[in-house]
Amino acid sequence: MAKILVNNSGPLHGEVWISGAKNSVLPLLAATIMTSDTCVIEDVPDLADVSVMKKMLMKYGAKIDDAEEGTIRISTPEIISCEGDRDLVQEMRASLFTMGPMLARHGKIVMPMPGGCTIGRRPIDLHLKGFRALGAEVVEDDENEVVTVTAGPEGLRGDVIYLDFPSVGATENILMAATLARGTTIIENAAKEPEIIDLANQLNKMGARIKYAGTDMIRIEGVGKLSGCIHEAIPDRIETGTFMLAAAITRGDILIRNALPGHVRPIMAKLKECNVDVEVTPEGIYVDARDRELNSTDIKTLPYPGFPTDIQSPFMAFLTTVDGSSVVRETVFENRFMHVVELNRMGADILIENREALVPGGKKLKGAKVRATDLRAGAAMVLAGLSASGTTEISEIYHIERGYENFVGKFKALGADIMKISND
Ligand code: EPZ
């Protein structure tokens, strides 16, 4: 199994270019199967999850041309299968985001259920609640762990749908399905993440009639058909936050190019609370932690625009190194502290009480053999390794490669002593 070796790297310095957002590109690609026209998606990062999504869509009948780096040309002349691939769904939960588009285009989807994962049970009850509200029949076969969703005889029809939790995936699935439903759909308590707005922008370019995306009440007027489009994905706000923290944890300074400050305000605010200098400049976000007395702060993850759960573990790694104790509260997922065990192998001495992690801070971490327990926890372990004494060996790095493009290369360019090794 491949591993990443990280040695203590001293202050990182330089600039990094942020790739297109994984959590935008995945629904953007899924949405393209709602038309037989060609869609061109630009600024697509080279990620394992993108490869899985392409395989999923090709199984439905999509034709994909990805010859040009960073650009995917995709058209789905006809749907040749309405069955999701179980292995692909297990590999990537976001395969579920093809349910809404398939329901809208084809009127039926047979989807194997994804297991939970290390960060939680991750049910899809809100997705199914939305499909039922749009008039679809939902049959859950628990024995075979398959859900079959079938549109009514006249297709989908609009309705008002209240989401008990502002689920990102449920909002995206319902939003896509509703674009081709008859009449008006209102999604109440909708997720407000920037990726929702990016998806709505692409859908409107395709001929959809969506208003108020980015607020907690999205209005969709159904249309008869959708056409092709050219759309560039937004930059990845979670990758942006990860490299902001790389500057902070190594006490270095990094200019983060192609980042949207408006998408990372909670991260900028929290780093400033720790006395890290964060400046928005015309060239990008400049983060400077050199020669500064840093202090601790408390973190509470919330749906956007609150502090992002995907930055919780990287930020916790940083908090272990500043003087003063911190409380990190995870409110979005029920089990997103798997990285605490790994950080404690490095001497972090973090305690967990219910959904709060008590980070004592003031630690000089020591290199150790650790695991990447999920995508973002893997990034957190790399950050910890940069700051720790000695060598940190990170296994199960396939998690990292799901969601960070050229992760090792970007860190090397900033002066990190890091390498990927393959034991094969
Ligand atoms: C998206 O996952 C992201 N993934 C996640 O990023 C991110 O952490 C999450 O949103 C929250 O921001 C993609 O966009 C591909 P949710 P999603 O539905 O849509 C519960 C990463 O590292 N819930 O907003 O699955 C659920 O159990 C990944 O890039 C229900 O109860 O997240 C969780 O506790 C990790 N019923 C909470 O809502 C449902 O039907 C948030 O889940 C759906 C969700």
For the stretch 203-240, pLDDT in tens is 999 999 999 999 999 999 999 999 999 999 999 999 99
Burial readout 5-35 (b: 16 or more C-beta within 10 A, e: otherwise)? bbbbbebbeeebbbbbbbbbbbbbbbbbbbb
Span from the CA of 207 to the centroid of ligand 1 (angstroms) = 27
Mean pLDDT of 387-402: 96
Quick one: average pLDDT of 134-154?
94
Cα of 78 from ligand 1 centre, angstroms = 30
Output the CA 124–ligand 1 centroid distance in Å: 10
What percentage of the chain exceeds 70 in pLDDT? Answer: 99
How far, rounded to the nearest angstrom, does the alpha carbon of residue 359 sit from its chain's CA centroid?
Answer: 25
Give per-residue pLDDT as tens, 287-328.
999 999 999 999 999 999 999 999 999 999 999 999 999 999
pLDDT of residue 116: 63
Percent of the chain with pLDDT strictly greater than 90: 94
Closest C-alpha to 239, from 378, 99, 140, 82: 378
Residue 417 confidence (pLDDT): 98
**Which residue's CA lies nearest to atom 44 of ligand 1?**
167
Using a cut of 0.95, tell me whether the model's pTM lies above it: yes
Cα(119) to ligand 1 centroid in Å equals: 10
Ligand 1 within 6 A of CB of 30: no
Name the band, by pLDDT with cuts 50, 70 and 90, for residue 1: confident
The residue whose CA is least distant from atom 34 of ligand 1 is: 333
Residue 125 alpha carbon, nearest atom of ligand 1: 40
Instruction: Name residues whose C-beta falls within 8 Å of residue 143's C-beta, 6 or more positions apart in sequence.
Output: none
Q: Which range, of 30-34, 102-106, 126-130, 144-148, averages the lowest pLDDT?
A: 144-148
pLDDT of residue 320: 98
Is ligand 1 within 6 A of the CB of residue 165? yes
- Residue 108: C-alpha distances to residues 52, 60, 147, 272, 364 (Å): 21, 11, 11, 49, 55
Q: Is 117 a catalytic residue?
A: yes
The size of the chain, in residues, is: 424
**Domains, in order of start, for the chain:** 3-18+235-421 (3.65.10.10), 22-232 (3.65.10.10)
Asked if the model's pLDDT at residue 424 lies above 90, the reply is: no
| Ligand 1, atom nearest to 304 Cα | 12
User: What are the b/e assignments for 47-71, b being 16+ CB within 10 Å?
Assistant: bbbbebbbbbbebbbbebebeeebe
Is the pLDDT at 149 greater than 70? The verdict is yes
Region 191-208: mean pLDDT is 98
Q: What is the mean pLDDT of the chain?
A: 96
Ligand 1 neighbourhood includes 86 CB (under 6 angstroms):
no
Ligand 1 pocket test: pick from 332, 374, 400 the residue with the most ligand atoms within 8 Å of its Cβ. 332
Find the mean pLDDT for residues 245-264: 98
CB distance 309 to ligand 1 below 6 Å: yes
| Ligand 1 atom closest to 120 (CA) | 27
The residue to which tokens 């590999």 are assigned:
91
Tokens coding 177: 């399905």
CB 161 within 8 A of CB 174: yes
Q: Which one has a higher pLDDT value, 394 or 152? A: 394
Task: Tell me the per-residue pLDDT of 325-361, one tens digit each, with 9 for 90 and over.
Answer: 999 999 999 889 999 999 999 999 999 998 899 999 9
Mean pLDDT over 354-371 rounds to 96
For Cα atoms 290, 292, 293, give the angle at the middle one, nearest 5 degrees. 145
For 10, 304, 390, 403, the CA distances from 387, given in Å and listed in that order, are 7, 29, 9, 22
Give the mean model confidence (pLDDT) for residues 244-255.
Answer: 98
- Hunting for tokens 């290390």 — which residue is that? 118
Q: Which of 39, 82, 117, 229 is catalytic?
A: 117
| 145 vs 168, higher pLDDT | 168
SS3 letters across the chain = CEEEEEECCCCCEEEEECCECHHHHHHHHHHHHHCCCCEEEECCCCCHHHHHHHHHHHHHCCEEECCCCCEEEEECCCCCCCECCHHHHHHCHHHHHHHHHHHHHHCEEEEECCCCECCECCCCHHHHHHHHHCCCEEEEECCCCEEEEECCCCCCECCEEECCCCCHHHHHHHHHHHCCCECEEEEECCCCCHHHHHHHHHHHHCCCEEECECECEEEEECCCCCCCEEEECCECHHHHHHHHHHHHHCCCEEEEECCCHHHCHHHHHHHHHCCCEEEEECCEEEEECCCCCCECCCEEECCCCCECHHHHHHHHHHHCCCECCEEEECCCCCCCCHHHHHHHHCCCCCEEECCEEEECCCCCCECCEEECCCHHHHHHHHHHHHHCECEEEEECCHHHHHHCCCHHHHHHHCCCEEEEEECC
User: 127 pLDDT exceeds 80?
Assistant: yes
What is the per-residue pLDDT across 3-33, written as a single tens digit (0 to 9) for each? 999 999 999 999 999 999 999 999 999 999 9
